[in-house]
Homo-oligomer: A and B are copies of this chain.
Amino acid sequence: MISDQMIQLVSGSSAIRAMFEEGKRLSAIYGAENVYDYSLGNPSVEPPLEVKETIIKLLENEEPNFLHGYTSNSGYEDVREAVAAHLNKKYNTNFDYQSIVMTNGAAAALNIVFKCILNPGDEILTFAPFFTEYRNYVASYGCKLVVVPANTETFEVNFEEFEKLISPKTRGVLMNTPNNPSGVVYSEETIKKIAAVMEEKQKEFGTDIYLISDEPYRELVYENIEVPYVTKYYKNTFVAYSFSKSLSLPGERIGYLAANPEMADYEKMVAALSVANRVAGFVNANSLFQRVVPYCLDLKVDIEIYNRNRIDLYNKLTELGFKCVKPVGAFYMFPQTPIEDDVAFCNAAKEFNLLLVPGAGFGCKGHMRLSYCVSHDTIVNSFPAFEKLAEKFIK
């Protein structure tokens, strides 16, 4: 008596589960240090020490029924105020505490936006390659995720297809920059073009179309790349942010949603988001980590550790003949598979104890995702395995 939707979702999840089981099986046979697991996006760099120090300070000094108590569904007002001030200073935006909803990570932020803007049958549009979970989130509201095919040369937006697929049913455009899985960061020019298309289509259709920017990797960028702040380019914009990667706290589920004060129906929208946070079962983002946030807004993990992995792995793979758009953000890269069938290729890689994820799940066949949030030893020790893989499929 399991619901029809969950039967589908469970069967869709079996590939990830199978990968996880395969990793355990290989580790049992060859030892964990001889299995090169590039399948998981679980941060490997330690949180800044200030996180621990702040928690202890709060526990020692705050009244416990306040520290661990229910907060307003949108979060403590002073915490939201601190987030708004931080963003305003850093990006010259004009948020106030009302614009900020503290959430159970970016996943919750996306879900409350969808709950607030989607009627059954509506569409959310996104750009391939995209985080696999988007499809499931949108399905929860009886809606469809429409995928703009990838521009596989650059993983920038395929504007020709974008303009074709955006329709009167499109309630939102969901983008993810820095991107999981490609590691690409959208330039200011790209964002301006997205905004221009959306402005035009809003006028054409007489609808509000929201731009939803999923930004858990905002702080993880390399080569002095800048990540433009999207609310400056388009009024109907939400930004979903998480401290999961910037502070290496993915299990703590702490993030926020920023709603552009210039959006349509702003006052009603922020009221609706608060109620959505409650009725979706999140109630409020966990209170202790909410109170940690104001002390850690200017901190981030040591990204030079990820950067070294990025450079060394990218150089090795391209040297071996793999084709790959150079990633400049997040901790993923997304090379082409040397054969068209990415699932078959990733299965073959397991023979060399390499765990890679087929691109198909990200809406982009013929590619594979590597999460390089692993130890540098894993990177270096995996090179002989990649050499054998290249020998078999490339040379």
Which positions in A face B, CB cutoff 8 Å?
A: 1-7, 9-10, 13, 40, 42-47, 51-52, 55-56, 59, 64-65, 67-71, 104-105, 107-108, 110-111, 115-119, 133, 136-137, 140-142, 171, 207-208, 210, 248-254, 264-265, 268-269, 271-272, 275-276, 278-284, 286-290
Q: Pick the contact of A2 from B67, B141, B265, B289 — CB < 8 Å?
A: B265
Contact A137–B71 (Cβ < 8 Å): no
Provided the pairs A69-B251, A140-B279, A283-B105 are in contact, do residues A6 and B116 lie with their beta carbons within 8 angstroms?
Answer: yes
Q: Measured between alpha carbons, how far is A373 from B9 in the docked complex, in Å?
A: 41
With A69-B251, A105-B283, A111-B280 already in contact, the answer to whether A269 and B59 are too (CB < 8 A) is no
Contact B251 A286 (CB under 8 A): yes
In the complex, residue of chain B having the shortest beta-carbon distance to the beta carbon of A46: B64
A370 to chain B, nearest CB (A): 18
Complex A-B: 28 CB contacts under 8 Å: A1-B265, A2-B117, A2-B265, A2-B268, A3-B116, A3-B119, A4-B119, A5-B115, A6-B275, A42-B70, A43-B65, A43-B69, A46-B64, A65-B248, A68-B252, A71-B251, A105-B283, A107-B283, A110-B281, A115-B140, A133-B278, A133-B279, A140-B279, A251-B284, A251-B288, A254-B286, A281-B282, A286-B289
Closest residue of B by beta carbon distance from A41: B70
A281 contacts across to B, CB distance below 8 A: 104-105, 107-108, 110-111, 137, 280, 282
B-chain residues with CB within 8 Å of residue A116 when the two chains form the complex: 2-3, 6
Q: 6 more A-B contacts (CB under 8 A) besides A56-B59, A133-B278, A136-B279?
A: A2-B272, A6-B272, A6-B276, A7-B272, A52-B59, A68-B250
Contact A70/B250 with A1-B208, A104-B104 known, Cβ cut-off 8 Å: yes
Q: How many angstroms from the CA of A55 to the CA of B59 in the assembled complex?
A: 9
Please measure, in the bound complex, the distance between the C-alpha atom of A51 and the C-alpha atom of B288, giving whole angstroms: 12
A86 to B137, CA, bound (A): 34
Q: Chain B nearest CB: distance from A266 CB in Å?
A: 11
Please state if A288 and B248 are interface contacts (CB–CB under 8 Å): no
Q: How far is the CA of A105 from the CA of B289 in the complex (A)?
A: 16
Q: Name, among A47, A142, A249, the residue most crowded by chain B CB atoms within 10 Å (CB to CB).
A: A249
Do residues B47 and A68 form an inter-chain contact, with CB atoms below 8 A?
Answer: yes
Measured in the bound complex, the distance between the Cα atoms of B3 and A210 in whole Å is 13
* Residue in B1, B55, B108, B251 whose beta carbon sits within 8 Å of that of A171 in the complex: B1
